[in-house]
Structure 1
């Protein structure tokens, strides 16, 4: 029989379930149509960046920013597969028969820690990229030393330790497969941590998202203002072009983090304040998360001069053009 928590374990009707091929089933495979090309783009970016660094190209980007972007790619992909196993695949009905034979288990805690940990990493990375960009912009002469200190003593520890602290409460959780309510059809399941634990996870996630998103927004506003005011009177056409490109890059980067923030916030608020409607808005979560996973690599690949320039490597810029050189590496 099913236990009181809503597990489908032991229910014969789920053990005998046969998936029907429809859109719900196909949605387990559709994401791979854009995830696989995105992985190829990520690898292309890595290879071309290394080539640009070896060639000492001025079109390359700051190595600290690139490292954080690579972490961003990594956490996005880790979270994609974690959320895929947590929600996408069970909701397709393809795991229903298997889930009916699985008892509630603490082994599922590994999935919860993995999914939430990688998700927090995704949330943190744009904030850290923005912090390094702001440091480069505000201190063009001493940014190498400052960025190194920030990366070693703040960025890396914050990126890897904070998600662990925020997810450690899931270690003792017993997870199980649960039937999702309307509008999901019979056989659409979710790997669930229980109502109380889910509420705690959502409160932590929502609060942390608001804090990080707000800090990122403030830093972005400062950068926009600084770019506008510092270079307003410059007569260099190239510097003005770099300024516009930096502003455009910042805008696209913000969009890539705004969309999942909005969709996840809608889901979180609905869960906390109007629980019966939660499953009606849950479809927004994978849309926003997948958008973020694919947006950043493609934007970087299609807009950054490192992937467009066909010119031969140039000599290092003079000290007088130091700000221009550093500005070209901000995105």
Structure 2
């Protein structure tokens, strides 16, 4: 398996996670607030289907945070360890991708016993705008959600910073050590 395949596959997973996050956000939060589903929401009792929609939003949100870290890690391995890239990236792609899904589902598992329901949104929303939510009787995980988001953002930033640093170093060393480049520079001066 070529290293470029693993990088491309990881990139597609990042894009799929971001698309899923945007789509589920529109479906669960944006669409009901427009008033288009008010009639359906008003006729539905609290149920597990609405809760499942709410859980899918959180799972896709966690995936959209974790997948860029995996992508940046694969890219960094290609830069730092070019000879061992294929084996390392294959392991990371096949281990971390399912693990990210398991972690995302585990972090939302506290919602399983709850029911989802629709509720009227307060102003500035128009009359008839509803929101899908869950009635939490137990603990919530806002702190965990914030910690995952901040950790993934920091990891992505740090990995990207060191990758850029290494690429600059490689290009700098190539320009210094390549005699043909040096001859061309002397010729154009």
Matched, 1:117 2:62: no
Quote the RMSD (CA, aligned, Å).
2.3
Quote the Cα distance in structure 2 between the aligned partners of 1:121 and 1:88.
20
Question: Which of 32, 36, 46 in structure 2 is aligned with 1:104?
Answer: 46
1:222 aligns with 2:162: yes
- Which runs of structure 2 are paired with 1:85-234 in the superposition (5 Å)? 85-153=27-95, 155-194=96-135, 200-234=140-174
> Structure 1 runs of 4+ off > 3 angstroms?
none
CA-CA distance at 1:223 after TM superposition = 1.0
Residues of 1 paired with 2:23 and 2:164: CA distance? Answer: 35
Q: TM-score by structure 2 length?
A: 0.83
Distance 1:219 1:165 in 2: 26
> 2-side partners of 1:218 and 1:196: how far apart?
38
Match of 1:81 among 13, 17, 23: 23
Structure that is richer in helix per residue? 2
5 Å matches for 1:241-260? none
| Long gaps (5+) in structure 1 | 1-59, 240-331
DSSP-derived class of the 2:173 partner: coil
Q: How many residues align?
A: 176
Which consecutive unaligned segments of at least 5 residues does structure 2 have?
Answer: 182-189
Please give the secondary structure, in 1, of the residue aligned with 2:163.
Answer: helix
Q: TM-score, normalised by structure 1?
A: 0.49
